[in-house]
Amino acid sequence: MSSRISIDAVRHVAKLAALSLSAEDETRMQSELDKILGHMEELNDLDVSGVSPTFHSVVAASSLRPDVVQPSLARNELLAAAPAQEAGGFAVPKVLDGE
Amino acid sequence: MTVSELHRLSISELAERVSTRSVSAVEVTRALLERVSRLDGEINAYLHVDREGALAAAAQVDRALGEGGAALPLAGVPIGVKDNLCTRGVRTTCASRILEGYIPPYDAHVVQQLRAAGAVILGKLNLDEFAMGSSNESSAYGPVRNPWDKTRTPGGSSGGAAAATALGLATGTLGSDTGGSVRQPGSYCGVTAIKPTYGRVSRYGLIAFASSLDQVGPLARNMRDAARLLRVIAGRDPRDATSAELPVPDYEAECGRELKGLRVGVVKGIAQGCEPAVQRSLGQAVERFASLGCEPVEVELPHQRYALSVYYIVANAEASSNLARFDGMRYGLRVAADELKDTYQKTRAAGFGAEVKRRIMLGTYVLSAGYYDAFYLRAQKVRTLIRQDYTRAFERCDFLLTPTAPTPAFELGAIQDPLAMYMQDIFTLPPSLAGIPAVNVPCGLSEQGLPLGLQLCAPHFQESLLVRAGHAFEAASGAAPCAPGF
């Protein structure tokens, strides 16, 4: 069965999205995405040349706030929600290889 | 009125009685909490009941009134809040395993506004995981059941809010609406729901799904109550730069105004393919508005049929970006692995459910190199065409009517295909993409005795007109049927 999206493309997208998928998930995702993307191809029926995109549906005049220091949330309260903390920061697994 | 009937009072009646001290906020809160503990086992509307917090807030309302404090618009009114709105010190999960046990250190803006208005927050309401769904079945904590028929969905994603409102497990609720998530469950459960104009209500503390579409909206058992809730939560908040700097009108004052001379737009061919009961109720609604003095005008929305494709590209693109923050580092679940990257992947694989993963994948795909122009940018251009359809339609009419959903509530488990599920939102997606306000108003029952809903839409920031039209429709329709057990 030919698909709009290859299994390699599914793996690539999963990597971009930082999701690990089982082999079974990959196959199911491939067939579901194929079907949904197939439906979305209807947008190709429309001529959109000269149409500008709508990134914001309501154009309200944006205003700048005064640049005044405001109290922010307390560090200890924010850290309390973290799975691991250390020395006043978020503790994370090692990022770099080496010693 | 006995204690066992307190749940039947409207928001305005309750606030009046509490303010004049004919009933205490604590009595009301106890009565509602008792009702929740007795009835919610079967419905699953609440993910968390904050008994202590609610009773403490109620006692505070009574104390302030006893000391001569001013009457507040929601004095002692028990409100339920969708569990994607942050509540300080009270767990907030988005119905996802990835946020299991998360306790926010702050209140959402709308939650602060509720508290300041004297509301008593009973607890946190079930939803589709991260508000992604149309049936509440993607909740990691089990679906909500529709109080009208417990084998059926309450709709989604604000299914807990709609079910709780319908059954009197709260006097009113707050939900959120990205593509129909207060309106469609409102329709399925027979309650009034308002999706405000994008920018009318601050999104600060609403856990983001699609930032260019998300709005917080009220659900209530009548339009006057919904209007009061909207006035409390609306307005500029510097913490959300997209919240509009416009004055907040007295929406409730619109209740009771005549409709004579207004032009009601009826969209050509809109109900084709809907269940006969939906088509019939739409026809009756047009007649009712005509009998209220409105002039029916036929309008066309030629690009509306593309809304589903546009929405699932745009919303999921934004979702894939917003949900990148759930990586097991700062809050919620962490599945430990040796390296950082593996920790991200394993945490997200274990924490997100199937629907959320599918949407993240789709969103990542349409934003990825080589597909951005073909999918994402094209969708945003078609969004412009959808928006322009409304601009043209509103030159000919003041507000317009559509069904809220193509069917009444379907049975849990009946729709397995993701695309078929997305079709449930075909009427609610276009107003969301255009950013315009839209409401669900209950519109009778189907032959099987299930609620039907009518969607009214108006130009940007014309919520007042929707309240006025919705209230007049409600008043002309006579006493609305209540869910069994209400």
Mean pLDDT of B348-367: 97
Check B380 against A56: CB less than 8 A apart: no
Mean pLDDT of B65-70: 94
Check B368 against A84: CB less than 8 A apart: no
Residue A64 located in a structural domain:
no
Mean pLDDT of B192-200: 98
Residue B65 located in a structural domain:
yes
Domains of chain B: total: 1
Measured distance CA(B400)–CA(B297) in Å, rounded = 9
In angstroms, the separation between the Cα of residue A57 and the nearest Cα of chain B is: 5
Measured distance CA(B165)–CA(A15) in Å, rounded = 42
Residue B365 located in a structural domain:
no
pLDDT at position A59 over 80 = no
Residue A84 located in a structural domain:
no
Residue B126 located in a structural domain:
yes
In angstroms, the separation between the Cα of residue A93 and the nearest Cα of chain B is: 5
Amino acid at B26: V
Q: Report yes or no: A30 at the B interface, CB cutoff 8 Å.
A: no
* Complex-level ipTM beyond the 0.90 threshold: yes
Condensed to tens digits (0 to 9), the pLDDT of residues B362-380 reads 999 999 988 999 999 999 9
Q: Which residue of B has its CA nearest to A60?
A: B244
Mean pLDDT of B33-56: 98
Mean pLDDT of B132-159: 98
Q: How confident is the model at residue A83 (pLDDT cuts 50, 70, 90)?
A: very high
Q: Who's near A99: CB < 8 A, 6+ residues apart?
A: none
pLDDT given for residue B329 in this prediction: 95
Condensed to tens digits (0 to 9), the pLDDT of residues B280-301 reads 999 999 999 999 999 999 999 9
In angstroms, the separation between the Cα of residue B245 and the nearest Cα of chain A is: 8
pLDDT given for residue A57 in this prediction: 87
Residue A92 located in a structural domain:
no
Q: What is the CATH number of the domain that holds A31?
A: 1.10.20
Measured distance CA(B99)–CA(B93) in Å, rounded = 5
Q: Which residue of B has its CA nearest to A77?
A: B105
Q: Who's near B105: CB < 8 A, 6+ residues apart?
A: A73, A74, A77, A78, A80, A81, B88, B89
* % pLDDT > 70, chain B: 100
Q: What is the CATH number of the domain that holds B151?
A: 3.90.1300.10
Q: How confident is the model at residue A98 (pLDDT cuts 50, 70, 90)?
A: low
Residue B227 located in a structural domain:
yes
Residue A56 located in a structural domain:
no
Cβ-nearest to A57 among B330, B361, B435: B435
Residue B237 located in a structural domain:
yes
Cβ-nearest to A92 among B241, B340, B375: B340
Mean pLDDT of B106-128: 98
| Structural domain span for residue A26 | 7-45
Q: Report yes or no: A65 at the B interface, CB cutoff 8 Å.
A: yes
Q: Which residues of B touch A90 (CB under 8 A)?
A: 329-330
pTM of the model: 0.97
Q: Which residues of B touch A46 (CB under 8 A)?
A: 303, 306, 382, 385
| Structural domain span for residue B14 | 3-250
pLDDT given for residue B34 in this prediction: 98
Mean pLDDT of A60-79: 84
Domains of chain A: total: 1
Q: How confident is the model at residue A1 (pLDDT cuts 50, 70, 90)?
A: low
pLDDT given for residue A94 in this prediction: 82
Reply yes or no on whether B181 is catalytic. Answer: yes
In angstroms, the separation between the Cα of residue A4 and the nearest Cα of chain B is: 12
Catalytic residue among B12, B157, B176, B187: B157
**Between B108 and A59, residue with greater pLDDT:** B108
Tell me the pLDDT of chain A averaged across its residues. Answer: 90
Residue A32 located in a structural domain:
yes
Measured distance CA(B75)–CA(B17) in Å, rounded = 9
pLDDT at position A64 over 90 = no
Choice among A62-66, B20-24, B277-281 with the minimum mean pLDDT? A62-66
Mean pLDDT of A34-40: 94
Tell me the pLDDT of chain B averaged across its residues. Answer: 97
Q: Which residue of A has its CA nearest to B347?
A: A19
Query: Please, what sign has the CA dihedral across residues B3, B4, B7, B8?
Result: negative
Condensed to tens digits (0 to 9), the pLDDT of residues B215-269 reads 999 999 999 999 999 999 999 999 999 999 999 999 999 999 999 999 999 999 9
Catalytic residue among B24, B82, B135, B139: B82
Measured distance CA(B229)–CA(B226) in Å, rounded = 5
Check B329 against A17: CB less than 8 A apart: no
B483: alpha, beta or left? (left if phi > 0; alpha if psi -120 to 50): beta
pLDDT at position B20 over 90 = yes
Q: Who's near B16: CB < 8 A, 6+ residues apart?
A: none
pLDDT given for residue A58 in this prediction: 87
Check A53 against B377: CB less than 8 A apart: yes
Answer whether B323's CB lies under 8 Å from B356's CB. Answer: yes
Residue A83 located in a structural domain:
no
Condensed to tens digits (0 to 9), the pLDDT of residues B430-483 reads 999 999 999 999 999 999 999 999 999 999 999 999 999 999 999 999 888 999
